[in-house]
Chains A and B, each alone.
Chain A
Amino acid sequence: MTRLARVGLAILTLLAAFAIVGPWIAGDPNAQPDPVNGSLLLPSPAHWLGTDQLSRDIFARLASGARISLAVAAIAVSVAAVFGSALGLAAGAAPGLAGRLLQRLIDLGLALPRIIVLLVVLAALGRMHYVLLGVVLGATGWPAVARLVRGETLRLRHAQYVAAARALGAPPARVLWYEIFPGTLPAVLVASTLGLADAILLEAGLSFIGVGIRPPEASWGGMLYEARDYIGSAPWLVFIPCLALVAATSAATLLGDALRRSLQPETR
């Protein structure tokens, strides 16, 4: 593992730990102790990262937002990985017409503009629990994984050890599960790590527009949305969630790139 990959992994681990532990030590993210005199305060021992326009503690909101934003992204990536893998394997392995139909389904999924679909669906569904939001994001993220896994499946189907398993009399399902499926996992792992960055940004973007995580619940994108009016007077309101987003997405990208380099060229 390269040094950059270690840095990426370390940052992701720290952010995850922050998302888990942070909300406990930071207190209520929605408390408004003194909206009149206590808003837009600079960082101080009482408020480590200052307060926002409603006098809410930014550290508490950042921690709460980390839990929600990272959980949404992780759920989205997991749902996309599981669903995409299953569909990709089926499309790559199914013979004849069934395989072609599944491939068309994947093409259809790829052709749909993800952000537009999400805007419509989320606007229609209204406010939802963040776990459900993660599932909805994942439900639009599977086509990329499915295409990847289908390609890997088609490639591995011609591997000599697959021919050996068939020659031994292994039924198609057994070949798929024992010989082909494990071979697709590295690609899925790489795609999911890189996809994590996408999902974080997607959730932030949707929350910024107002259809993702909605106020007063805290999310990094939502914090940016609420801070946009104060970019001149209280720029740290914008910088802090931005920094968190940049750290999370670049860490995921670094790790994903390193994983790709070490896992993709079949190491013997």
Chain B
Amino acid sequence: MLGGTGSGHLTTPLLEVAGLVKHYRTGGLLARTGAVVKAVDGVSFTVAPGETLGLVGESGSGKTTVGRTVLRLELPTDGVVRFEGTDLASLAPGELRALRRRMQIVFQDPFASLNPRRTVGASVAEGIEIHRLAPKREIPQRVANLLEEVGLDGSYASKYPHEFSGGQRQRIGIARALAVEPRFIVCDEPVSALDVSVQAQVLNLLLDLRDHRGLAYLFIAHDLALVRQIAHRVAVMYLGTIVEIGTARTVIDSPRHPYTQALVSAVPEPDPAKATARIVLVGDPPSPAAPPPGCPFVTRCFHPMKDERCVAERPRLRPLDGRDVACHYAEVNAVGGR
């Protein structure tokens, strides 16, 4: 189940994630017997060169943790992450730092991701200096070029982050990531914190950069409508596991997992003839500290065939109709019509 199921790409994957697990231990100094929060509980996927994989899920589904563990900003509890065929866990700290040139991250919160005490130019130049990508006297020109590439004025380099709007800061964050000429960028909800009008601009910038630079993205979002605009493939996460993964068209146009169906039904449909009833999920997802032993979605599932098997046995991802889905009764559509 490791390979790029449903990807349609024949190239070797740029990024390969297999059985990724990240557990956190809760409880402080006094409570030594803290619970284990299973933020990510066995996630596998691949990203091909130039490909965008959308990672969708609600808050707490573990999608941000996946992004951070993939980049080893946090250490995985278990599982393998290979980048360009290299197991990241096998690298010495210095080797890993060198490899960081090739994989970058754009954060969700543009107000927290830039150091308020450094000029924009210093932040953008950071990667160039670390990896010695240009002689010192050429750095200002490089920084100006990068700022222009993301649609900002090159003279902004001497300003401080507080002088910019959220959208502008997000562009600065993108320029900082581009400075080291990566092949792969984790976009961790890069537009969620922005105004709707600005969201489209930043999204278009990411699309342009992907085309011009041949970038691959792991595009993390909670908004399926957004993912549809940028992702080639989509993975839907629920409570630390992927419940459905396949090409964006397949997953979004004919979702098989009840949770995906609920997400899709929440996307506004401009054509009233096609619009279907919105599925409103009842209740909150279970705590990742105490997930159900069977299907993680069972507590909120509306599938008519839901039974004891769902409570007792965790469904594995299995191929069905051109995508992988983790539901015992995925053959039977939970909602009519779609």
Asked whether B130 lies within 8 Å of A161 as measured between CB atoms, the reply is no
Interface size on A, residues (CB 8 A): 20
- How far, in whole Å, are A182 and B123 apart by their CA atoms in the complex? 14
Instruction: State whether the Cβ of A174 lies closer than 8 Å to any Cβ in chain B.
Output: yes
Given contacts A160-B107, A170-B126, contact A178 B100 (CB under 8 A): no
B104 contacts which chain A residues (CB < 8 A)?
Answer: 167-168
Asked whether B71 lies within 8 Å of A161 as measured between CB atoms, the reply is no
B173 contacts which chain A residues (CB < 8 A)?
Answer: 164
Asked whether B97 lies within 8 Å of A169 as measured between CB atoms, the reply is yes
Q: A171-B97, A179-B118 are in contact. List 15 more A-B contacts (CB 8 A).
A: A159-B115, A161-B112, A161-B113, A161-B115, A164-B105, A165-B115, A167-B100, A168-B130, A169-B100, A169-B180, A178-B115, A178-B118, A178-B122, A267-B162, A268-B162
Interface string of A46-85 (1 = CB under 8 A from B): 0000000000000000000000000000000000000000
Asked whether A168 lies within 8 Å of B117 as measured between CB atoms, the reply is no
B180 contacts which chain A residues (CB < 8 A)?
Answer: 168-169
Interface string of B57-94 (1 = CB under 8 A from A): 00000000000100101000000000000000000000
From residue B76, how far is it (CB to closest CB) to chain A in Å? 16
From residue A163, how far is it (CB to closest CB) to chain B in Å? 5
Instruction: State whether the Cβ of B149 lies closer than 8 Å to any Cβ in chain A.
Output: no
Chain A interface residues (CB < 8 Å from chain B) = 159-161, 163-171, 174, 178-179, 182-183, 266-268
Asked whether B73 lies within 8 Å of A174 as measured between CB atoms, the reply is no
B176 contacts which chain A residues (CB < 8 A)?
Answer: 164, 168
- How far, in whole Å, are A183 and B105 apart by their CA atoms in the complex? 22
From residue A170, how far is it (CB to closest CB) to chain B in Å? 5
Per the 8 Å Cβ criterion, residues 233-261 of B in contact with A are: none
Q: Of B68, B116, B127, which is within 8 A of A168 by CB? A: B127
From residue A64, how far is it (CB to closest CB) to chain B in Å? 41
Given contacts A168-B100, A168-B176, A183-B117, contact A163 B127 (CB under 8 A): no
Nearest-CB residue, chain B, relative to A174: B130
Nearest-CB residue, chain B, relative to A178: B118
Asked whether A161 lies within 8 Å of B100 as measured between CB atoms, the reply is no
Nearest-CB residue, chain B, relative to A171: B97
From residue B182, how far is it (CB to closest CB) to chain A in Å? 10
Interface string of B160-186 (1 = CB under 8 A from A): 011000000000010010011000000
Please, could you name 8 A-B residue pairs with CB atoms under 8 Å apart, sorted by A?
Answer: A160-B113, A161-B114, A164-B173, A165-B126, A168-B176, A169-B98, A178-B122, A182-B118
B161 contacts which chain A residues (CB < 8 A)?
Answer: 268
A169 contacts which chain B residues (CB < 8 A)?
Answer: 96-101, 127, 130-131, 180
Nearest-CB residue, chain B, relative to A182: B117
Q: Of A159, A178, A267, which is within 8 A of B112 by CB? A: A159
Nearest-CB residue, chain A, relative to B94: A171
Q: Of B109, B117, B131, which is within 8 A of A160 by CB? A: B109
The 3 closest A-B pairs by CB, nearest first: A169-B100, A169-B97, A160-B112
From residue A185, how far is it (CB to closest CB) to chain B in Å? 8
- How far, in whole Å, are A218 and B123 apart by their CA atoms in the complex? 51
Nearest-CB residue, chain B, relative to A266: B116
From residue B133, how far is it (CB to closest CB) to chain A in Å? 11
From residue A104, how far is it (CB to closest CB) to chain B in Å? 14
From residue B85, how far is it (CB to closest CB) to chain A in Å? 19
- How far, in whole Å, are A177 and B161 apart by their CA atoms in the complex? 19
From residue A99, how far is it (CB to closest CB) to chain B in Å? 15
Given contacts A168-B104, A268-B162, contact A179 B130 (CB under 8 A): no
